[in-house]
Amino acid sequence: MRLMIVLCYGLVKAIGHSPRQQPKMRHTNRFGKKSAGLPLVHNSASTKQQRPIIKVRSFTQSALLTRTIRLTHGMLPLFVALLLTNCGGSGTSAVNPQTAISENTTTATETTTSSEQGWVEGEFLAPENFRYLCENPRTGDDPATGSAYLDAVGTTTDENNWLRSWSNELYLWYHEIEDRNPADYTTPEYFDLMKSFETTASGNPKDKYHFTYDTEEWRQLSQSGITAGYGAKLAILSASPPREIVVAFTEPDTPATAIDVNLARGARIVEVDGVDVENGADTATLNAGLFPATSGERHEFLVRDLGASEPRTVSMTSALITQDPVQNVKVIATDSGNVGYMLFNAHLAPSELELIQAVETLAGANVVDLVLDLRYNGGGYLDIANELAFMIAGSAQAEGKVFSEVQFNDKHPSTNPVTGASLEPELFHTSARGFSASQGAALPTLNLQRVFVLTGPGTCSASESIINGLRGIDVDVVQIGASTCGKPYGFYAFDNCGTTYFSIQFRGTNAKGFGDYTDGFSPTNEPSSGTPLPGCFVRDDFDHALGDPLEDRLNTALAYRDNGDCPSAAKAPIAFKSVSRSHHLVDTGVRQPFFETLGLLRQ
C-alpha cells in the first residue's frame, strides 16, 4: 500500500492512486459562505477583491471536473494523496505509488452511528464512525483499487461529522478550529471552516492551503499530470483593466503548439472570442475561453507574438493535456566550465524518471554548476524533491543525512497518525522510489557544492523543500528571481464520498531543524519578509525563451557565478496575486484558473 503526500517542498510519495485529472480550486470563506475565490480576470468594479499580482496560470482546465477544488486565501495552486502546503517539512518513508487514496487512510467499516444524535460542542467521535457515509454514495468499482466502493447511504451531516472528527484528529492547528454544528452547513461550506483563520507575524494567513479535489481527477493529475486545456501556461500580469496576459510557457505536442497556432513564451493575449482582454467587460467570456471547463471546447484568440507589431487570429480546441514536468535540459558552455540548466515544473510522478535522465545527461557533460529553474513549480511529491536534492549534492554530502523531519500536532508526538509508523527523520534517498522509474534503481549524481535556483511566487512546497533540504546539509543555494510562496507544511490526501480533502497536517524541518519560512525564501536584495538567501531579485523576463542564456534570470545566474554581483538596475518586485483554479463562477462571472501549486505531497 502506498500513501501519497503532497509537499510544498516537493512531492513526497502520497497515497497511491491511479491518474486523475485536476479538479478546480476555490478560496474558502471565513464566514461559511461558498466563494469561488478571487477572480483571475475581472472588471474594474471588482477591484476591491483584487490581490497583489503576478501569477502564472494554467491555460488549461480540468475536463473531468465534477466537483471543485477549494483553496484557502493565498494558495497558488498542485497535488496528490498527501499534500505539503508550506515547504520545509519532510516526508516519511515512501510507499507504493499505485495504492489508491482510500488506502492512505483507515479502512472504512460499517457503522450504526447516527448524526441525528445531535452535536455536542467539544465532543468528538472517531472519524471512522462517519467515513464513507455519503449523501450521494458512489457505486461500482473504485478504479484506484479494483474493488467496490466503500460508500454507504448517509447524509450531508454524516459527511460533515467526518470532516469535523478528522480535522480534530489530524489538523496541525486543530485547537484553532471553531467547533460548529455540522448540521448547519453544506459540506463544502463546512470544510471551509475546518481551518485556522489566524495570521502570521507578517500579517499573511497562517493557513493558505486548504482545498479539495474531485477524487478521480486528483488520481489522474497526481499520477499522470493530465489536465484539460490548450497546453499553454499564462502569466496574469494584471487581472483588472488594463489587463495584461502573457504566455509563460507551453507544453509540447498540444493544441497551443500545433503548426497553425504555434504559441510561444512572450505572446500577449489580445482578444478572447471577440472580447478585448485589456478593457473588456465580458469577463465570463474571457475566462470561459482562457480556462475551458472541458475538453473539446473551441475558442478563438487574437494574439500578438513576441516582437510582432500586429496581432494574429488563432483557434484552439481544448484537449486532455499531459504535462511534461521536466523540459529544456541543456548544457551551457562557459569559460569557467559547463553549466547545466533544466526547467522543472511539477513534482508529479512522471518527473521522477525525467529528472533521472536529465541528471544523467548533465553528469555526462561534466557540469560544474546547475541552474534549476523552479519559477513555475508549485510542488508535489516530497519524495521526488528528496531524490532531486540527493542527485544534486551526491553521496559524499547527502547519503545518510537528514533531508527533512515531520512534526504532526501535539496529539501525535512520536507516531505518524496516518501510517502508524514511528516518526523518524527522513534521510536523503539514494535510489528511486518507483513513481515512474524502477523502484530501487540507484540515482545518478552531480556532486555539486552549490546550486542556482530560479524562483518566483509560483515556487512552492516541494520546490521549497529542495532549497531547505540542501541548506540543511550546507549545500550553497543561490536564489535568482523573486520570493517563493512559503509552504513549510504538508498533508495526506484523504478521499471521502468522491472528494479528496487536503488539510494541513504536519510541518517539516531540515537537518538543522529549520522550517520557518512561511513567507517564503527571498533573494537578499529583495525587500521582503521572507527568509533571505544569497542571490539577486530579478523580474520574470517574458521577452526571452526559458533556457535562453540572455533571459534575465538565467543570465543573472550565469554572471553571478563569476562575480557574485546583482544587476545594478534591479527593479522593485511585482506583488503576487494569489488566485486559485475553480470552475465555479463568482459574482462577476469570472472563472478561477488553477495556479500550479500542488503543495507538499507525502506517501
Distance CA 574, CA 239 (A): 13
Q: What kind of fold does domain 326-487+510-563 have according to CATH? A: 2-enoyl-CoA Hydratase; Chain A, domain 1 (3.90.226)
Model pLDDT for residues 346-388, shown as the tens digit of each residue: 999 999 999 999 999 999 999 999 999 999 999 888 999 999 9
CB neighbour list of residue 192: distance below 8 Å, 6 or more residues apart: 28, 29, 32, 34, 35, 70, 210
Helix orientation angle between 382-393 and 351-364, rounded to the nearest 10 degrees = 10
Q: Cis omega (within 30 of 0) on the bond before 242?
A: yes
Continuous segment of H or E residues that includes residue 496: strand 494-496
Q: Do domains 225-322 and 326-487+510-563 have the same CATH topology?
A: no
The CATH number of the structural domain formed by 225-322 is: 2.30.42.10
Q: 337: alpha, beta or left, given left = phi > 0 and alpha = psi -120 to 50?
A: left
Comparing 168 with 406, which gets the higher pLDDT? Answer: 168
> Which residues make beta-bridge pairs with 80?
none
Element of type H or E holding 554: helix 552-563
- What residue ranges do the domains of the chain occupy? 225-322, 326-487+510-563
For residues 600 and 130, give the distance between their C-alpha atoms in angstroms, rounded to a whole number.
Answer: 27
Q: What angle do CA 361, 366, 372 make, to 5 degrees?
A: 65
CB 83 within 8 A of CB 69: no
Q: Which residues contact 268 (CB under 8 A, 6 or more apart)?
A: 244, 245, 246, 247, 303, 304
pTM above 0.75, yes or no: no
Among 25-34, 135-144, 174-183, 217-226, the minimum mean pLDDT is found in 25-34
When mean pLDDT is compared across 182-191, 515-524, 565-574, the lowest value belongs to 565-574
Residue 480: count of CB within 10 angstroms of its CB: 28
Task: Return the C-alpha cell found at 141.
Answer: 468499482
Tens-digit pLDDT profile for residues 47-70: 333 322 233 444 433 332 233 333
Quick one: CA dihedral 328, 55, 222, 14, positive or negative? positive
pLDDT band at 113, cuts 50/70/90?
low
Contacts of 450 (CB under 8 A, 6+ apart): 369, 475, 476, 477, 478
